[in-house]
Amino acid sequence: MSLKCVESIGFVIFDCICLMVGAASLRSAATAEVASEMAEAAKPVLSKLDQYVVTIAAEGSTKTEVATAVFGIISTIYSGGCLGAVIGAWLGSLTLGNKILYAATALTTIVAAVATDGVAEIGLIGLELATAGWLISDSIKCAEACEYSS
């Protein structure tokens, strides 16, 4: 996996965390360094995320399919035992005020969503997608950098 591919996956993971916890405004905190840290934290499951990235990047995907793919990325990270490290890397990119605000809510929101198979969370992500053009853009770049095909 190339460095550009790994970094691109990190950006997609960062985007998905922002959507899951209702923190779209924090997307601007993502840098190449943070993206690399996010990917490193999720390293054990990176090879399992391609199907979701392809779905998010696909021009014909519906909002429900994209929202389900976002949940799939988070769920895979959770089931792969990487969630704590990924949330830690995400929180590390935030200002002190935002760390305090999101530290308690991020992990509990994601664990609750995973425990319920994302039933309600997928709908909420679908609503957030209207303001998340960066997720689609980052997923397209990721699919290209990693040479994923649909």
pLDDT tens figures, 17-46? 998 888 888 898 899 999 999 999 999 999
Q: Which of 56-70, 116-130, 133-147 has the lowest mean pLDDT?
A: 116-130
Q: Where are the domains of the chain?
A: 3-145
Classify residue 140 by burial, with Cβ atoms within 10 Å: 0-12, 13-18, 19+.
middle
Q: Is the pLDDT assigned to residue 131 strictly greater than 90?
A: no
Percent composition of the chain: helix, strand, coil (DSSP 3-state, to 5): 80, 0, 20
Rounded to two decimals, what is the model's pTM?
A: 0.90
Q: Is the pLDDT assigned to residue 127 strictly greater than 80?
A: no
Q: Is the pLDDT assigned to residue 150 strictly greater than 70?
A: no
Contacts 24+ apart (CB under 8 A), 123-129: 123/67, 124/22, 125/19, 125/20, 125/66, 125/67, 125/70, 125/71, 126/63, 126/64, 126/66, 126/67, 128/19, 128/22, 128/24, 129/19, 129/63, 129/66, 129/67
Q: What digits encode the pLDDT tens for the residues 93-107?
A: 999 999 988 887 887
Note whether 20 and 124 are within 8 A (CB): no
